[in-house]
Chains A and B, each alone.
Chain A
Amino acid sequence: QLQLQASGPGLVKTSETLSLTCTVSGASLDNHEFSWGWIRQPPGKGLEWIGNIYNNGSIFYKPSLKSRVAIVVDASKNQFSLKLQSATVTDTAVYYCALARYYYGSGALAFDVWGQSTMVSVSS
């Protein structure tokens, strides 16, 4: 059964780096059918796409976060990670990792399987 589990510190100090890991079971990160992504949701607000990584090495980030964010795959551990530098209080959110599928004829991804989330609070 395909499962994803996000994990990481629940509290990050402002200006420090927010680091999260998503552990995948039931699927290989090498599977070319999938892309792997991060989405977040500030308390009481909507969903915000952060970025996706493809197994051909392509990585795409939300433009407004691009200067601070990195997504990295560790295939040996079947994990992928999120690093968000210079954290601010506006980065406080529930963070989700997700498996995404892409379909011929459109670049838009379907976030098919969502992991158990992790709440991160950023505070001084």
Chain B
Amino acid sequence: YELTQPPSVSVSPGQTARISCSGNALPDQFAYWYQQKPGQAPLLIIYKDTERPSGIPARFSGSSSGTTVTLTISGVQAEDEADYYCQSADISGVYEIFGGGTKLTVL
């Protein structure tokens, strides 16, 4: 089972970045999104497809449609440059899996 993400996304400051994650079990399992900056541990930024943990800026949002979930960053800032990973489980809900990661570059 795989979660497929684009390797890279580039946007200019103030624009909207969208990062997709596709997987056959996503209609049945929650998806989560993590932000990872160099040398740091990943940070959970979206849980249960669309929920945002406290302390995460409102410009980060998640959506789900069928076998694809999407992380949207509205009004991208330079500090948002990072690697972003989606994560979910297989259809059984037992085995966790991470997407390959997407490098967001802020031009």
Q: Which residues of A are at the interface with B, using a C-beta cutoff of 8 A?
A: 37, 39, 46-49, 52, 60, 62-63, 96, 103, 105-112, 114-117
Which of chain A's residues have a CB closer than 8 A to the CB of B61? Answer: none
Residue of B nearest to A50 (CB): B96
Q: List 16 A-B contacts (CB under 8 A).
A: A46-B85, A46-B98, A49-B98, A62-B95, A106-B29, A107-B92, A108-B31, A108-B32, A108-B93, A109-B96, A110-B30, A111-B44, A112-B44, A114-B42, A115-B41, A116-B41
Distance, CA A11 to CA B30, complexed state (A): 36
- Say what secondary structure dominates the interface of chain A: strand
Which of the listed residues A37, A106, A107, A115 has the most CB atoms from chain B within 10 Å of its own CB? A107
Which of chain A's residues have a CB closer than 8 A to the CB of B99? Answer: 46
Which of chain B's residues have a CB closer than 8 A to the CB of A46? Answer: 83, 85, 98-101
Distance, CA A48 to CA B100, complexed state (A): 9
Which of chain A's residues have a CB closer than 8 A to the CB of B94? Answer: 60, 107
Distance, CA A114 to CA B87, complexed state (A): 14
Question: Quick one: CB contact mask for B79-107 with A, threshold 8 Å, 1 for yes?
Answer: 00001010111001111111111000000
Which of the listed residues A47, A63, A96 has the most CB atoms from chain B within 10 Å of its own CB? A47
**Are B85 and A111 in contact (CB-based, < 8 A)?**
no
Given contacts A103-B30, A116-B41, contact A110 B47 (CB under 8 A): yes
Distance, CA A57 to CA B106, complexed state (A): 45
Distance, CA A96 to CA B87, complexed state (A): 15
**Are B48 and A103 in contact (CB-based, < 8 A)?**
yes
**Closest CB-CB distance, B64 to chain A, in whole Å?**
12
Distance, CA A108 to CA B34, complexed state (A): 14
Distance, CA A103 to CA B46, complexed state (A): 14
Given contacts A52-B96, A60-B94, A107-B93, contact A96 B41 (CB under 8 A): yes
Distance, CA A120 to CA B31, complexed state (A): 29
Which of chain A's residues have a CB closer than 8 A to the CB of B43? Answer: 114
Distance, CA A107 to CA B95, complexed state (A): 9
**Are B97 and A49 in contact (CB-based, < 8 A)?**
yes
Known A-B contacts: A47-B98, A62-B95, A114-B42. Give 14 more (CB < 8 A): A39-B98, A46-B99, A46-B100, A47-B87, A103-B48, A106-B93, A107-B29, A107-B89, A110-B44, A110-B47, A111-B34, A111-B87, A114-B41, A116-B41
